[in-house]
Amino acid sequence: MISRLTSAGSELVLKNAAGAGPTLLHWGEPLGESIDLQHIDALRERPLPNGTLDIVEPLSWVPEAGSGFMGTPGIEVHRDGRDFVTQFQLREQLAIEHGLKFIYADALAELTLVVELALDPHSGVLSSRCSLSNEAERPLQVNWLAAGSIALPAAFDHCMTFAGRWCKELQAHWHHLQHGIWSQESRAGRTSHASFPGLMAASAPARNGSGEVYGFHLGWSGNHRILYEYTRDGRRQLQMGELLLPGEVILAKGESYSSPTLYGSWSGSGLNGIAAQFHDYVRRHILPAQLYRKPRPVHYNTWEAIYFDHDPDRLRQLIRRAAQLGVERFVLDDGWFGGRNDDRGGLGDWQICAQKYPGGFAELSSLLADNGLEFGLWVEPEMVSEDSRLYRHHPDWVLGLGQRRQPLGRFQYVLDLANPAVAEYLFERLVQLVTANGITYLKWDMNRDLTHPAGAAGTAAVHRQTRALYRLLDRIRAACPGLEIENCSSGGGRIDFEIMRRCERIWLSDCVDPQERQSMQYAYSLFLPPEVMGAHVGARQAHTTGRMTAVDYRCATAMVGHMGIEADIEHLPEGEAQVIQRYVALYKAYRDLMASGRKYYLDTGSREICAFTLVAPDRRRALLSVTRLETGLSLVADPVRLYGLDDQCDYRVRLINTESLAPGDTKLPVPLANGSELQCRGVLLRCVGIQLPVVRPQATLLLDVQALAPTDTGVAEP
């Protein structure tokens, strides 16, 4: 049987064949209803060369070694070293919403495998999940179950992957895979700073605005594995799934294991096409619905202003100053609870420090309300300090093997969230803290990797820990309607679609240096939309890098996400407060565009220039951002060609942050530099582009693009 799944811009054609899961015959542009699908099967029939098995190796959705596949299998199981061979046969195929469910059985191994595929009709994003059930009396150990194995054309020999470290997350790299396997793993108990669970595949390093690309992401917040393989018979496969530690998943009779969800997308219009599809899907199906009930408020976060020094007078001054700058939400960061004067103690107790706040948060909450600011609070519920009352009373509540001393991170242990007593304790403490103090926002942090991640039974527990985290977040959100949560993990240590089902914001990185943020924000934007990307204006000298940058560069970089400020705003250099205030107002004028628009990164032809447009759904309004990162060999950059506008519409273009231009950098400025506006047809902006002024390194130009009303052009409406 051959089946098809079709969306507005793409189509999958699948065949039921030997092995576990269907075989992918086509994934790309829609072929049309009149196409005979049997012709596709005939065109894809593979020859059988000498020197191989007497069958064509079945590269199915879950390829099996037991069925003759000699590449990396999609399933690896055993029972005490036995029953490691599987040969699934299709038992039933069912229609589900926008997709198909395939049920397979292996009678000898007494296993059932379910493959669920759905193609979202609006965005074109494919979701894939696999589940395995044990029907035998003997337990089954699961070593690996891919969320799907995607067979891609052999010509797709380039893959973009995403590595990094703390304060330099999400660094995109292209690899040319001519043979063998490219593989990436996270064993940190979270997605980690080093291994974002995403990959792009193309036949050459893809451009932003053109070319055929496949994009993939694993929605899972624990350990993961990605592999991209060139098989011995010339095919390529992409696998993603949960990396399971030894003995982590052992299924008794009647028990099941489900993989995380693999999300995939095909684009014929370059990386921007992948980004647009992922953004659309995330906005419709992933992010909490309450996110769009109000504009994203401007944040002020206290961390880089006061650190652990919670002086009442100082906080009063910061609150009043933040309100003057246009801030709408005040987030009190680390240091507010008992025993917390540095990062060595206090985590887990979650009691307001009586010395710093003698009357609790009553005065602070009242002052925030008087200044029109929402109350946000930093917490790190998954952790416990060695120096804390909670740890002294309940050392058995931490993940670890009691007889072994495990390495600590930030002087803290990880609480076993799968322990019902732990989950109940955290639920009660956090809900009481939120409801008693009028807190509308939690910055939920997680500041260490997991080592010795064993639960009470002494067995590996990352899988259970991750699922327990989801349950705890779901319970807290249900008990506190309207509460918003920011997902932070030492910055970008835990970013994925599944955690974002429960959060309204991502803290992308602890680094707010705008120069470092540019590359991070580019890679982030391939997967998630700007309205949930936390981006702050920091101090002139960045806390994490020591780099000095101009205030307009910091502001322009921060205002194209969910804008905030994280600096000592009481002691800003002369003139900076006025600039920040102006950019906060600009952000408020454009934040509806951040929350609904489509983001197009532009192909500038230069590594030194990073540019993108944010285009409204009706294409009548856009914001163009152009950043020169470094000096280049060319004195003048080529015109920037805009994507996403209406070819037949006339637009007015004007520069809105003229302070980013340095006087005297050019002898003959272009019209935009002297305050003039440009008016032209959309097709010219796309095909010819805009010649921009000379821009110094580490500076961003912001241009407003507005559609002209028919009367503005002097031409009658057709």
Task: List residues with catalytic annotation.
Answer: 445, 510
164 token code pair = 């990094």
- 3-state DSSP percent of the chain in helix, strand and coil, to 5: 25, 30, 45
**SS3 of residue 118 by DSSP:** strand
CA nearest neighbour of 208 among 152, 274, 277, 282: 274
Under DSSP, the state recorded for 415 is B
Residue 706, SS3 per DSSP: strand
**Structural contact between residues 97 and 105, judged by C-beta atoms closer than 8 angstroms:** no
Identify the DSSP state of 541.
B
Cα separation of 669 and 453, whole Å?
61
Distance CA 676, CA 113 (A): 65
Contacts of 195 (CB under 8 A, 6+ apart): 162, 163, 184, 185, 186, 188, 224, 226
Q: How far apart are the C-alpha atoms of 473 and 418, rounded to whole Å?
A: 13
Return the number of other C-beta atoms located less than 10 Å from residue 635's C-beta: 8
Cα 258–263–267 angle (5° rounding)?
160
| CA dist., res. 489 & res. 688, Å (int) | 43
Q: Are 338 and 381 in contact (CB under 8 A)?
A: no
Q: State the burial class of residue 463 (Cβ atoms within 10 Å of its Cβ: 0-12, 13-18, 19+).
A: buried
Question: What is the rounded distance in angstroms from the CA atom of residue 342 to the CA atom of residue 345?
Answer: 7
Element (H, E) at 453: none
Contact, 704 vs 656, CB < 8 A? Answer: yes
Q: Residue 577: name the closest of 540, 546, 543, 610 by CA.
A: 540
Reported as type and span, the H/E element at residue 425 is helix 420-437
Task: Let me know: does 200 contact 478? Beta carbons within 8 Å.
Answer: no
What gap in Å lies between CA 611 and CA 627, rounded to an integer?
Answer: 6
Nearest to 535 by CA among 552, 513, 517, 558: 558
What is the SS3 assignment for 66?
Answer: helix
- Residue 132: φ, ψ to 5°: -125, 135
Distance between CA atoms of residues 363 and 361, nearest Å = 6
CA proximity to 341, closest of 356, 326, 319, 359? 356
Contact between residue 277 and residue 123 where contact means Cβ atoms under 8 Å apart: yes
Quickly list DSSP for 562-588.
EEEE-S-TTSPPTTHHHHHHHHHHHHH
Tokens standing for 208? 């932003």
* Pairing mode of beta strands 213-219, 99-106: unpaired
